Amino acid sequence: MTNEGVAENGSDQDARTRMVVEMAGLRRRLASLVYESLLLTGLLALTFMVPYLILGIGWNITAPGWLLWVHVFVVLGAYFVWYWSRHGQTLAMQTWRLKVVRADGRPLTSATSWWRYLLSWPSVLCLGVGLLWALVDRDRQFLHDRLAGTCVVLLPGKR
């Protein structure tokens, strides 16, 4: 995995440098996933549970089940797409020094972020088969990353 960037002098031909980026290990990505689930509990408590408690207690309104799932899907999608397309990292990924990039090393666009997010749902919900895929993948990527053309890389540590 390489990422090309232009050096500071601006010359395209001579200033091209190649930076080698290490693919993130499976254990680090799984640890980040566990930490992310803890953070998402707080996010969903604020944006999902609180509004429906207010509607239920204050006005005795209960939303249908399909609407609740759509709400969760949209809230989580907004969270992930915002962070992936703006910074390439969610809060948990920042803690574990992980970054999601396209296979060519460029940052994710909003469209790529949405595509990765959509593919991650069946990857996780089908008994985690998309996560288990990393055990047989040549680069140890999750299935949704392989299909979306993205990969998770390890950022260098602070010196």
69: its two tokens: 């799932």
> Which is more confidently placed, 88 or 21?
88
Q: Does any domain span residue 76?
A: yes
pTM value? 0.85
Nearest to 21 by CA among 139, 147, 142: 139
**How many domains are there within the chain?**
1
pLDDT tens per residue across span 121-136: 999 999 999 999 999 9
Lowest average pLDDT, out of 66-70, 110-114, 154-158, goes to: 154-158
* Residue 18: inside a domain: no
pLDDT of 17 = 44
Q: Give the span between the Cα atoms of 48 and 55, in whole angstroms.
A: 11
**SS3 of 150, please?**
strand
12 contact partners, CB below 8 Å, separation of at least 6: 6
* pLDDT given at position 20: 66
**CB-facing half-sphere around the CA of 130: CA atoms within 13 A:** 18
> Residue 41 falls within a domain, yes or no?
yes
Cα–Cα distance between 2 and 101 in angstroms, integer? 11
pLDDT at 14 > cutoff 90: no
Flag whether 2 is in a domain.
Answer: no
Q: Is residue 116 part of a domain?
A: yes
**What would the pLDDT profile of 69-121 be if each residue is shown by its tens digit?**
999 999 999 999 999 999 999 999 999 999 999 999 999 999 999 999 999 99
> Does 3 reside within a domain?
no
Q: Give the Cα separation of 148 and 103 in Å (integer).
A: 9
Mean pLDDT over the full length of the chain: 90
Distance CA 52, CA 50 (A): 6
CA distance 23 to 28: 11
| Residue 34 falls inside a structural domain | yes
In a domain, 122, yes or no: yes
The boundaries of the domain holding residue 105 are 24-154
Residue with tokens 């809060």: 91
- Report the residue count for the chain: 159
Tokens of 66: 């399909």
The pLDDT, as a whole number, for residue 121 is 97
